[in-house]
């Protein structure tokens, strides 16, 4: 859960590297550093804290090297400190390394190297890598142009865990060696220079042409060319990918924060995701998957497997698929699914949801499902990401780059795509009336404009946020799909405001949680299902009686009950209401965080892409 950058070309590397780190800071931000090849060897500049601290380091402006690597860290081994910050050097300062991932057997490797006379300056797992490279390099009697590549390969053969690694050395000043396993890495290529990054947005300003590295694939990156090698160091050619993301989409574009920008980008992200999937009067189009009526009819169950916000999208999908297709569905947290020996086989379809396509637990769960004979389908926002290379089928959201750590537009795009997928299955199975599916399609097409209406009227949300931002605890209540929305609203609040919050199914309130309600405690209710209005109101009345301070998000006509604030959203089909009701809750979390003076885009202890367990 770190970000790495590399540059080789004809320009000064340091400003390019630091700018790339700023673009990747959502991946980690407790320390940062760069290493460049200068005339007298490797120069390393690093510090504890945010990337911007690098600008203040002595000598940073005097770096002239045109080859360099850089890193922004989210700590796993060793507390945030200058010593633990990357890049790391071997004892002879001949090899510099940046690394994203976790080396699970670093302790044994450290013991091995210590016995060989190496010493260590940090508490990180990464520091074993440059020293292992030095060890294998010095053991290699064949002194040729690929000696460093072989040393890196021998090092990686010893590593257990996940890694994306960049290596530079003054012995080979015309190249950067890179390799990845279970951690993302891309190479952006353009005339007389090449860029390496954990994520595409970090180098979009330079190129839209990318090589996407596979697991255990090595690349030797020069300024004018790139050589690719497989896990056995057999050289091969590789296809280039053109990524049609707009570089401006990765900028704030006048908004104060990325999160606010991405909240307001949701209408367009949903329009883009709907794309060519359907037109009124026509069947849904999923030419990228081939799931027949015979196969879908044979299914005993569909699993939605994901983590965090993506798992909440799966909860919405469960309700919609069961309603439209009458296929039993389960939703599992990936980190639990992979360890509990799930009862799945060829009659189970497993759908994996990941914004980044690099979520370690979700990828591991997918591999398990394939081993057990399941067909696998993944939903992600990132073309060529690791999960897409493992799944049988992939369908993409088209949310564009999402930079803020707390997901907003990627989440709603996932829900839209999952609902359209459910309609597609229903059309294949003839399991839901055609006229109702057509009505649902018409309602989906109206969702973006209805979100725009909500975003044009946020004054009451701002006012409520100002009244409650000093709270220490909050509660969210909902029934059915409104409960899933409540869970996502609660998570958003926790992520960016650090307020303890919990979401409960409203009917469970009296089975324990109501003991926590006392005078002045804030409770937020979501009420969008007309069949559940009376029951939901009864639950809200119970907490009002006990002195709760209340906000209700609804598109229903409610009985005359005194709520402290009511946010009215547009009406739509109850199967789609979650796309509207979540928007005020996203805004509420955002404005609460702003009132507290917090960094909305980079909440403490969190990173955007969770590439470690």
Residues belonging to the active site:
2, 608
Instruction: Give strand pairing partners of 42.
Output: 37
DSSP type of residue 182 = B
3-class SS string, 7-68: EECCCCHHHHHHHHHHHHHHHCCCEEEEEEEECCEEEEEEEECCHHHHHHCCCHHHCCCCEE
The angle formed by the CA atoms of residues 497, 581 and 508, to the nearest 5 degrees, is 80
Instruction: Give strand pairing partners of 551.
Output: 524, 565
Inter-residue contact 249 to 410 (CB < 8 Å): no
Burial class of residue 225, CB neighbours in 10 A (0-12, 13-18, 19+): exposed
Question: Cα dist. 140→22, 129, 146 in Å?
Answer: 38, 17, 11
Residue 29 sits at φ, ψ, to 5 deg, of: -155, 35
Radius of gyration for the alpha carbons in the chain, expressed in angstroms and rounded: 26
For 24, residues 6+ apart whose C-beta sits below 8 A from its C-beta are 3, 4, 5, 72, 197, 198, 199, 202
- C-beta atoms surrounding 242 within 10 Å: 9
For 600, residues 6+ apart whose C-beta sits below 8 A from its C-beta are 257, 258, 259, 260, 404, 406, 496, 590, 593, 594
| The token pair that represents 564 in the structure block | 């402290």
Helical pair 266-274 and 434-455, crossing angle rounded to 10 deg: 160
| The token pair that represents 281 in the structure block | 């009067």
The angle formed by the CA atoms of residues 527, 552 and 260, to the nearest 5 degrees, is 105
Taking the mean position of all CA atoms in its chain, how far away is CA 546?
Answer: 39
Residues in the chain: 613
Label residue 439 left, alpha or beta by phi (over 0 means left) and psi (-120 to 50 means alpha). alpha
CA distance 221 to 228: 9
Tokens 């907003």 belong to residue:
408
Which residue from 317, 301, 268, 287 is spatially nearest to 455, judged by alpha carbons? 268
For 167, residues 6+ apart whose C-beta sits below 8 A from its C-beta are 69, 95, 96, 97, 130, 133, 148, 152, 176, 177, 178
Helical pair 409-429 and 266-274, crossing angle rounded to 10 deg: 30
């Amino acid at each position: 859960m770190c970000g790495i950058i590399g540059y080789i070309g004809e320009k000064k590397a340091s400003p390019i590297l630091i700018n790339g780190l700023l673009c990747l800071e959502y991946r980690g931000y407790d320390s940062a550093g760069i290493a460049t090849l200068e005339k007298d060897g490797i120069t390393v500049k690093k510090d504890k804290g945010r990337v911007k601290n690098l600008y203040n380091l002595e000598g940073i402006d005097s770096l002239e090297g045109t080859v360099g690597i850089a890193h922004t860290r989210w700590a796993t081994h060793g507390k945030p400190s200058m010593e633990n910050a990357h890049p790391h050097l071997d004892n002879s300062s001949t090899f510099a390394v940046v690394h994203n991932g976790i080396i699970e057997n670093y302790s044994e490797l450290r013991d091995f190297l210590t016995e060989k006379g190496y010493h260590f300056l940090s508490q990180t797992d990464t520091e074993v890598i440059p020293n292992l490279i030095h060890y294998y390099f010095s053991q290699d009697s064949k002194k040729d142009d690929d000696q460093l590549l072989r040393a890196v390969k021998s090092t990686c053969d010893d590593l257990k865990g996940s890694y994306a690694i960049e290596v530079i050395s003054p012995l080979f000043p015309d190249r950067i060696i890179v390799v990845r396993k279970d951690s993302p890495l891309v190479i952006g290529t353009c005339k007389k220079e090449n860029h390496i990054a954990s994520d595409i947005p970090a180098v979009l300003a330079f190129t839209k042409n990318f090589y996407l590295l596979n697991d255990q694939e090595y690349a030797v990156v020069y300024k004018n060319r790139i050589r690719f090698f497989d896990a056995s160091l057999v050289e091969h050619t590789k296809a280039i990918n053109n990524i049609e993301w707009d570089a401006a989409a990765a900028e704030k574009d006048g908004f104060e924060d990325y999160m606010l920008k991405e909240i307001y980008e949701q209408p367009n992200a949903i329009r883009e995701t709907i794309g060519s999937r359907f037109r009124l009067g026509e069947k849904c189009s999923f030419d990228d998957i081939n799931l027949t009526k015979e196969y879908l009819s044979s299914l005993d169950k569909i699993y939605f497997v994901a983590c965090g916000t993506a798992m909440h999208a799966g909860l919405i999908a469960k309700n919609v698929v069961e309603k439209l297709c009458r296929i039993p569905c389960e939703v599992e947290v990936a980190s639990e699914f992979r360890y509990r020996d799930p009862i799945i086989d060829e009659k189970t379809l497993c759908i994996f949801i990941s914004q980044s396509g690099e979520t370690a637990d979700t990828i591991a769960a997918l591999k398990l499902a394939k081993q057990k004979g399941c067909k696998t389908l993944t939903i992600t926002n990132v073309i060529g990401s690791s999960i897409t290379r493992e799944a049988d089928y992939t369908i993409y959201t088209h949310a564009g780059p999402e930079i803020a750590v707390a997901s907003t537009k990627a989440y709603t795009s996932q829900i839209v795509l999952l609902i359209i997928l459910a309609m597609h299955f229903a059309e294949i199975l003839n399991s839901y009336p055609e006229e109702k599916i057509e009505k649902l399609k018409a309602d989906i097409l109206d969702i973006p404009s209805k979100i725009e209406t909500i975003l044009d009227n946020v004054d009451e949300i701002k006012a409520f946020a100002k009244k409650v931002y000093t709270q220490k605890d909050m509660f969210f209540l909902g029934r059915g799909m409104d409960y899933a929305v409540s869970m996502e609203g609660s998570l958003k609040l926790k992520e960016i405001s650090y307020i303890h919050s919990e979401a409960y199914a409203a009917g469970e309130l009296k089975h324990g949680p109501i003991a926590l309600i006392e005078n002045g405690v804030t409770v937020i209710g979501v009420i969008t299902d007309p069949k559940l209005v009376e029951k939901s109101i009864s639950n809200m009345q119970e907490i009002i009686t006990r002195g709760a301070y209340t906000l209700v998000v609804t598109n229903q006509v409610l009985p005359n009950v005194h709520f402290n604030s009511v946010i009215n959203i547009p009406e739509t089909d109850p199967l789609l209401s979650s796309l509207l009701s979540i928007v005020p809750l996203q805004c509420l979390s955002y404005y609460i965080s702003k009132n507290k003076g917090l960094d909305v885009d980079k909440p403490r202890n969190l990173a955007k892409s969770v590439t470690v367990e």
